């Protein structure tokens, strides 16, 4: 039995190495913070202006988002809701599945849970990874999603990279000094955007941070309640142990 388990473990080692070295090697890493409400508010604004037309958030509601992000109802309805939806409505859009297939080849997916499925690092790298590729129907490709069917909807902010941008995690070396180049992003732009590289990186961080929130709006509540439960169990364990000793002392 031990030999069988050892053989299985040895056989899985190459797969574990590939998994660790493949997907994460080309991802730029960020640390999201769903308690940063200004960041979440900016991310919500970006999402509603640039993403909501194609990608719904149908498992979230406007009123819950407004409450969690401290957005007044009148400001939300006037500036972030572009349909006839009510304050308590699900965050849906008006694009039909047939229209999505006709325009993009496949219907744009709902993104409520995309941060939980893909992970923040993947989203952060993807949204900063578009570049010019005239062989593609939309004229762009992506370093993280080859042959992507989605247009670069944030091009007016970032601009359009003339070639595939380098991920920050893609270690390159200065040929003169031999030092590691830590900056990622685009080196040459085909189209200039309204933001510089650092401004765009910050905007994408806010957008990804917002998507991290929509994937689990109650995350901080869950963590807070979880610690309370652990504290209760710790106290209960002490009381139970004392009660056990009291009940069994005469028997022993």
Helices (H) and strands (E) in the chain, counts: 10, 8
Q: What angle do CA 137, 153, 53 make, to 5 degrees?
A: 105
Better-predicted residue by pLDDT, 137 or 172: 137
Per-residue pLDDT reduced to its tens digit, 1-23:
455 555 555 455 544 444 444 44
Please tell me the pTM assigned to this model: 0.76
Q: What angle do CA 194, 197, 201 make, to 5 degrees?
A: 100
Per-residue pLDDT reduced to its tens digit, 168-177:
654 555 455 5
On the question of pLDDT at 136 being above 70, the answer is yes
Average pLDDT over residues 41-67: 96
A 10 A CB-CB count for 199 gives: 13
Q: Strand, coil or helix: what is 208?
A: helix
Per-residue pLDDT reduced to its tens digit, 76-101:
999 999 989 999 999 999 888 888 88
Task: Write down the CATH number for the domain with range 21-217.
Answer: 1.10.760.10
Q: Tell me, what's the pLDDT at 120?
A: 96
Q: How far apart are the first and last CA of the chain?
A: 42
């Amino acid at each position: 039995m031990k030999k069988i388990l050892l053989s299985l473990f040895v056989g899985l080692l190459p797969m574990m190495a590939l998994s660790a070295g493949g997907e994460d090697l080309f991802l730029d890493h960020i640390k999201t913070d769903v308690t940063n409400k200004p960041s979440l508010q900016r991310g919500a604004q970006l999402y509603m202006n640039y993403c909501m037309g194609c990608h719904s958030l149908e498992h979230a509601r406007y009123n819950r988002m407004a409450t969690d992000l401290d957005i007044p109802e009148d400001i939300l309805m006037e500036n972030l809701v572009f349909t006839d939806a009510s304050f308590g409505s699900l965050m849906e859009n008006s694009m039909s599945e047939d229209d999505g297939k006709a325009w993009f080849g496949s219907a744009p997916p709902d993104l409520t849970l995309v941060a939980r499925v893909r992970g923040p690092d993947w989203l952060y790298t993807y949204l900063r990874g578009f570049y010019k590729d005239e062989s593609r129907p939309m004229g762009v490709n992506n370093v993280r999603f080859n042959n992507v069917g989605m247009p670069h909807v944030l091009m007016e902010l970032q601009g359009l990279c003339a070639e595939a941008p380098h991920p920050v995690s893609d270690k390159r070396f200065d040929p003169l000094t031999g030092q590691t180049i830590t900056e990622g992003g685009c080196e040459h732009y085909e189209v200039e955007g309204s933001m510089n590289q650092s401004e765009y990186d910050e905007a994408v961080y806010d957008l990804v941070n917002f998507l991290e929130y929509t994937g689990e709006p109650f995350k901080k509540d869950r963590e807070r309640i979880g610690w309370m439960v652990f504290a209760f169990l710790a106290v209960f364990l002490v009381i139970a142990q004392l009660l056990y000793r009291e009940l069994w002392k005469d028997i022993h």
